[in-house]
Structure 1
Amino acid sequence: MGMMSKLSAFFNSHVETSERNEDETLRTHYYKTTKDKLMDGIQSLIASEERFSLLDASKERGEISVNVVRGKKGFLVITVVNVRPFKTSVDISFTVEKGMNLGYGQKMIRQFYQRLDKEYTFVGVGINEQ
């Protein structure tokens, strides 16, 4: 990741994961589980943290919407997609309520992925980019 990209990401008000993100820690994560189990687990994780307030969860769309009410306030969208049986992807998007991100979103996403990595069998990152 180049210096200009790092600076841009640091000062931007929005950060999200993707298959081809320049920052490897912010690439799509894959887990060996079902979409429903992962959705339930993510909702439990959100409920266990005071900084999060669940807004909506749609298993049909595979989306969980969350308000971040502590720390840098903002809006979090977690997208869970069943790629194959027992192979599920997770992407996370964070937008600050006002001001700049200042690296908070990247740190929060990394921490979120670390918690998921401990709970579920981690398959890899950005593995569907071909």
Structure 2
Amino acid sequence: MGIMQTFKRIFSTNTETSEKHYDEKLQTHYYKSTKDKVLKEVEAMFNQRSGFTVSSVSEEHGEIIVRIDKGKKALIVGTVIMVKPFRTAVDFSVSTDTFLFTDFGYSSKVVQSLYKDLNKRLTFVGTGLGEKLSDF
């Protein structure tokens, strides 16, 4: 990780996962399932967590919006995309509601916790597989 990534990570109030994220823990996660099943499982995961409130679910767009009301306040947007049969990608964006210039890594910890829980619920295939999908 370079100096710029370290500063961005430290002085940030949001974390967003992506295909080519410099931190492997924050790369897009892929699961062996359909979009609808993954979206239902993500929604169930949020409903079972204390202090999390599902605000909106768009099955058509594969998006779920969740508020964290307990402890540090935050907004989570989860995106579920089926990239090929039984290969579904999940990304999260977490924005912390704070008056400071940093959330001290809270949003990153939330994302990592969500992926850890989801990996237990679904068949995890890997991270950052976007370019490698043609190999399957």
Q: When the two structures are superposed, what TM-score results if normalisation uses the length of structure 2?
A: 0.91
Unaligned stretches of 5+ residues in structure 2: none
Instruction: Tell me by how many angstroms 1:11 deviates.
Output: 1.7
Indicate the RMSD between aligned Cα atoms, in angstroms: 1.2
One-letter amino acid of the structure 1 residue matched with residue 29 of structure 2: H
Instruction: Tell me by how many angstroms 1:2 deviates.
Output: 1.9
Aligned identity (percent) is 40
Secondary structure at the counterpart of residue 61 of structure 2: coil
Larger radius of gyration: 2
* Separation (CA, whole Å) in 1 of partners of 2:13 and 2:43: 25
Q: What does residue range 10-21 of structure 1 map to in structure 2 within 5 Å?
A: 10-21=10-21
The question of whether the paired residues in 2 share the 8 Å contact of 1:14 and 1:95 is answered with yes
User: Structure 1: which 4+ aligned runs deviate by more than 4 Å?
Assistant: none
Unaligned stretches of 5+ residues in structure 1: none
* Separation (CA, whole Å) in 2 of partners of 1:24 and 1:115: 17
Instruction: Tell me by how many angstroms 1:128 deviates.
Output: 0.4
Of 121, 127, 130, 1:128 maps to 130
Secondary structure at the counterpart of residue 36 of structure 1: helix
Instruction: Tell me by how many angstroms 1:129 deviates.
Output: 3.7
Question: How many aligned positions are there?
Answer: 130
2:52 corresponds in structure 1 to: 52
> 1:12-56, CA deviations, whole angstroms, 9 ceiling, x for partnerless residues?
111100001011100000000011111111111111111211000
The question of whether the paired residues in 2 share the 8 Å contact of 1:20 and 1:129 is answered with no
